[in-house]
Structure 1
Amino acid sequence: MYYQSIISFFLFTLIIACSSPEEKAASDIDSNSITTTETTTEAPQKHQNENAFVAKVEEAHHREDFLSKKAIQFDIVLTFGGNERLNGTILTTTDSRRGVITHKNGHKVYYNENDVYYSPEMENPQRIRFGAYTWPYFFLYPYKLSDPGTNWKAYENSMLNDKEYFTQQLTFDAGTGDDPEDWYIAYADKETHLIDVAAYIVTAGGSTQAEAEKDPHAIQYKDYTMIDGIPIAQNWIFWEWRKEEGLTKELGAATLSNIKFVNVNENTFDAPESFSKT
């Protein structure tokens, strides 16, 4: 199930704060393989969710409208610790199953459900696979709250840095993703119901849940703008997060631009035969 792989973007996030920068990157995706579009002929995925928190958040993010589109593309500049981690263009289907990341230097990474393919000149397949799923999922997160294997429950602390939110905690069914012991806490604005912050732990790399809980992180979504009537955050900030203190230390940031829904053809996500697989 592709969900199991794409969700792994969160499961390795501790690597972000301490790893070295990737090659500086990004170039435009082949314009012959995509065209801008507003809607597709496919019927939107219907959302039936008994959890009022998730239902309101996904309604605020116009989830059904988002899923009625074929694919979305955006430029991203991502930095951690003052170092540029990614400078490129991401194209992903709205259901998260397929995508391609094009780096500034021309290197490309394709993902197709559980498979990742990359330019043979690129090194460190583990980091490549991590990046292929991580950055698109951060973008898609507000539209995937009711994915298979997700479980939501009340979270008692609704305050974060002196602001009160609607909050719930996300856990996963056993066997969901690579690290089902991870958890996330979603903070939704009380007026707009848009996701403002998502705190999380990651148990990747053999860490136990208790060990991971010693260093939880958070992503903050900022500067929502309407793209074809759908609110999308143009800026992300990554933080250290503590249950009582809230957001404590800024770790990194991302700026998104040229966000647009696009149409794709059957060959858009087919990697060249010369590409390596991880």
Structure 2
Amino acid sequence: MSTILKSSLVCFLLLVISTSCKEENKATPELETPVIESVAEKKLSATETIEEAYKKDNFLSHDAIEVDMVISFGGNVRLDAKMTYLTNSTKGKIELKDGSSIYYDGAKVFHSADLKNAKAARFDAYTWMYFLLFPNKLNDQGTIWSDVESAELNNKTYNSQRLTFKANTGDAPDDWYIVYSDPKTNLIDYVAYIVTVNKSTEAAEADPHAIGYSNFKMIDGIPVAHNWEFYEWSSTNGLGKVIGDATIRSAKFVKTAPNAFDIPKGFIEK
């Protein structure tokens, strides 16, 4: 092949490659259109936004959470115990400092024969767990949420939502909660609520309360409120006087043994 012909062929090939590259470059912008939304572009509900603030996925990646906690009302210690709960809340146990204990497995509650306040065993089994794990249980089965509204509480404006439950949900489906979350951090500062265990809905609504969460500490990157205050509360006047408090002295995530929540022999089902 002559030198001139070789040069012509090389020029032709370069021209074809150049043209192809230009055509590919023209098509590139269409290929860059993302198919999957980024986290920032996800359309999260108000409760999902709160769950994200509390790192729910990270929380559930752990097996269980263990807290050493003291709860007082009216100046008297109501409960002083180590509490261990599976992060999915299906099993738990409360080991009181006096040596007595309460276990729950799903809907069943058991307590040791020496438990002093046996009448409150079911209440204790589920209530403190619910208040601790509340930010990660907002979308449990049976939950019904109102639309978000702005509400004033303790001289601050919050995002407010009312939580009710479908019939036959848990031990107390007639309970309701009103959540006050910070619009900037999406953390929950207060929750108003009624407790219908062992009382009628009418009686419970005549005596509503609120819990305030504070002193958030990061446990493995997850915010956990280490101080709680319990208040009288009303829809018209908001927070009333403080009636109780709780302090988490320590909190950590733990890996439990397969038999950690097995009900000990001699325990009484409540």
Determine if contact 2:189/2:212 at 8 Å carries over to the other structure: yes
Q: Structure 2: which amino acid aligns with 1:235?
A: N
2:81 pairs with 81, 88, 110, which one? Answer: 88
- Describe the SS at the equivalent of 2:185: coil
- The 2-side partners of 1:102 and 1:212 are apart by 28
**Partners of 2:123 and 2:197 within 8 A in 1:** no
C-alpha distance in 2 between matches for 1:276 and 1:213: 31
Deviation, 1:174, is: 1.7
**Which ranges of structure 2 fall in alignment gaps of 5 or more residues?**
1-41
Q: Hey, what does 1:20 align to over in structure 2? A: none
1:274 to partner: Cα distance: 2.0
Q: Once structures 1 and 2 are overlaid, which stretch shifts more, 128-137 or 53-62?
A: 128-137
User: CA offsets per residue over residues 38-91 of structure 1, 9 Å max, x none?
Assistant: xxxxxxxxxxx9762101100001111101100010100110000001111001
Query: Per-residue deviation at 1:258?
Result: 1.7
Determine the structure 2 residue equivalent to 1:262.
254
Q: Does 1:136 align with 2:138?
A: no
- The residue identity in structure 2 corresponding to 1:55 is E
Greater Cα offset, 60-69 or 178-187: 178-187
Query: Aligned runs of 1:2-13 on 2, under 5 Å?
Result: none
Verify the 8 A CA contact 2:46 2:148 in the aligned structure 1. no
Q: 2:155 aligns with which of 138, 149, 162?
A: 162
TM-score, structure 2 length as denominator? 0.80
Report 1:173-192 matches (<5 A).
173-192=166-185
CA contact (8 A) 1:161 1:245 kept: no
SS where residue 106 of structure 1 aligns?
coil
**Aligned to 2:174, what secondary structure does the other structure show?**
coil
Normalized per residue, which structure has more helix? Answer: 2
Q: State the 1:93 CA deviation.
A: 0.4
Alignment of 1:242-257 (within 5 A): 242-257=234-249
Give the letter aligned to residue 239 of structure 1: Y
Give the secondary structure class of the aligned counterpart of 2:248.
strand
Q: Does 1:216 align with 2:208?
A: yes
Higher alpha-carbon Rg: 2
- Choose between structure 1 and 2 for higher RCO, CA contacts under 8 A separated by at least 6 residues: 1
Q: Alpha-carbon deviations, 1:1-28, whole Å to 9, x = none? A: xxxxxxxxxxxxxxxxxxxxxxxxxxxx
Q: Measure, in 2, the Cα distance between the counterparts of 1:258 and 1:86.
A: 15
- 1:1-278, aligned counterparts within 5 Å? 52-154=45-147, 156=149, 158-209=151-202, 211-278=203-270
Instruction: Tell me if the contact between 1:185 and 1:200 (Cα under 8 Å) persists in the aligned partners.
Output: yes
The Cα shift of 1:124 comes to: 4.4
CA contact (8 A) 2:70 2:77 kept: yes
Structure 1 portions without partners, runs of 5+: 1-48
Shift in alpha-carbon separation, 1:249–1:91, aligned structure 2, 3 A? same
Identity %: 47
Contact 1:201–1:212 (CA<8 Å) still a contact in 2? yes
Classify 1:89/1:206 alpha carbon distance in 2 versus 1 (closer, same or farther; 3 Å). Answer: closer
Coordinate RMSD, CA, aligned = 1.8
TM-score, normalised by the number of residues in structure 1? 0.78
| Higher alpha-carbon deviation: 255-264 or 212-221 | 212-221
Aligned-partner Cα distance in 1 for 2:49–2:89: 21
* Structure 1 residue 157: Cα displacement: 5.1
> Deviations for 1:79-113, whole angstroms, at most 9, x for unmatched residues?
00000011110011001111111111211211111
Whole-Å Cα distance in 1 between the matches of residues 268 and 195 of structure 2?
Answer: 28
Q: Given that residues 73 and 244 in structure 2 are in contact (C-alpha distance below 8 angstroms), is that contact kept between their aligned partners in structure 1? A: yes
Between 232-241 and 49-58, report the one with greater CA deviation: 49-58
**Which sits farther off after the overlay, 100-109 or 220-229?**
100-109
Q: 1:54 to 1:75 in 2, by over 3 A?
A: same
